[in-house]
Amino acid sequence: MSQVIDAAPGNRREQQKEAKRLALINAALAVFSRVGFAAAKIGDVAEEAGVSKGTVYLYFESKEKLFEGMVKAKMVPMLDNVAEISGNEKATAIERLRTHLTFFYTKILDDERRQIMRLIMSEGPNFPHLAEFYHANVLSRGQAMVNSIIQQGVESGEFRKMEGHGLMQNIAAGALIAGIWKQVFDPFQPIDLDAYFETHIDLILNGLRAQPEHD
């Protein structure tokens, strides 16, 4: 009770609580992305997390809050990553763009993240909070970053000058679609993400490039 709880909170209870909250979040991601929000059963989330149904309500006050909490929790690492990468202003714009996209494919498009992405796309209109949060914290940052890279590239002569409305969306689109395809159409036509990535970056870099090099 009077125990001071520092960085890694000491006693066993606290740890277990934290572990359980995490288990619930993972279970929620699994269940929600398997069947969507409306069809997901709290009982299933509980079972998958290895607790009883009532326990879920000790951690999240409703199904909606569980969903929102899960999505936000799963976004945090994404935000950190996005922040972390934005540095390195010394590289050329082409290098930066390549790094950025590589990063996108490896960190943003991994299994968990693309499920989150699809959930936001499908449930977004019913959860305006979340869509807004995602927009403010992920998309608009991505946008700022792409704009800064493009601007650098234009100034350095690497890229041609483009009007730029929706440039960020166009640049990221290929990656997002790859993630969606993987989840929806892979059974009918598997997608090779590595090869796809090469096509994508090749297309984008050449689309932006001011002077093509002969190779």
Partner DNA sequence: AAGTAATAACTGACTGGTCAGTCATTTCTA
Partner DNA sequence: TAGAAATGACTGACCAGTCAGTTATTACTT
**Best CA proximity match to 105, nearest among 211, 197, 13, 11:** 197
Binding of DNA by 13 (CB under 7 A): yes
Burial of 72 (0-12, 13-18, 19+ CB in 10 A): middle
Binding of DNA by 43 (CB under 7 A): yes
206 binds, among a copy of itself, DNA, none (CB under 5 to 8 A by kind): a copy of itself
Q: Which of residues 82-121 bind a copy of itself (CB under 8 A)?
A: 118, 120-121
The whole-angstrom separation of Cα 58 and Cα 125 is 28
- Which residue in the set 6, 54, 125, 215 belongs to the binding site for DNA (CB under 7 A)? 54
The whole-angstrom separation of Cα 51 and Cα 166 is 45
Task: Give the nearest distance from C-beta 15 to a copy of itself in angstroms.
Answer: 35
- Which residue in the set 9, 22, 34, 41 belongs to the binding site for DNA (CB under 7 A)? 41
139 binds, among a copy of itself, DNA, none (CB under 5 to 8 A by kind): a copy of itself
| CA distances in angstroms from 73 to 51, 101, 112, 168, listed in the order given | 20, 23, 12, 25
The whole-angstrom separation of Cα 28 and Cα 73 is 11
Residue 144 · residue 213 · CB < 8 Å: no
Coil vs helix vs strand at 159: strand
Tokens of 175: 């990656």
Binding of DNA by 160 (CB under 7 A): no
The whole-angstrom separation of Cα 163 and Cα 204 is 15
Handedness of CA 33, 109, 50, 20 (dihedral sign): negative
209 binds, among DNA, a copy of itself, none (CB under 5 to 8 A by kind): a copy of itself
Binding of DNA by 34 (CB under 7 A): no
Size of the site for DNA (CB under 7 A): 21
Site mask, a copy of itself, residues 139-158, x = CB under 8 A?
Answer: xx------------------
Task: Give the nearest distance from C-beta 1 to DNA in angstroms.
Answer: 7
Q: How many CB atoms are located within 10 Å of the residue 142 CB?
A: 19
Site residues, a copy of itself (CB under 8 A): 34-39, 118, 120-126, 128, 131-132, 135-136, 139-140, 160, 162-167, 169-174, 176-178, 180-181, 183-185, 187-189, 191-192, 195-196, 198-200, 202-209, 211-212
List contacts with DNA (CB under 7 A): 1, 11-13, 16-17, 20, 40-43, 51-55, 57-58, 62-64
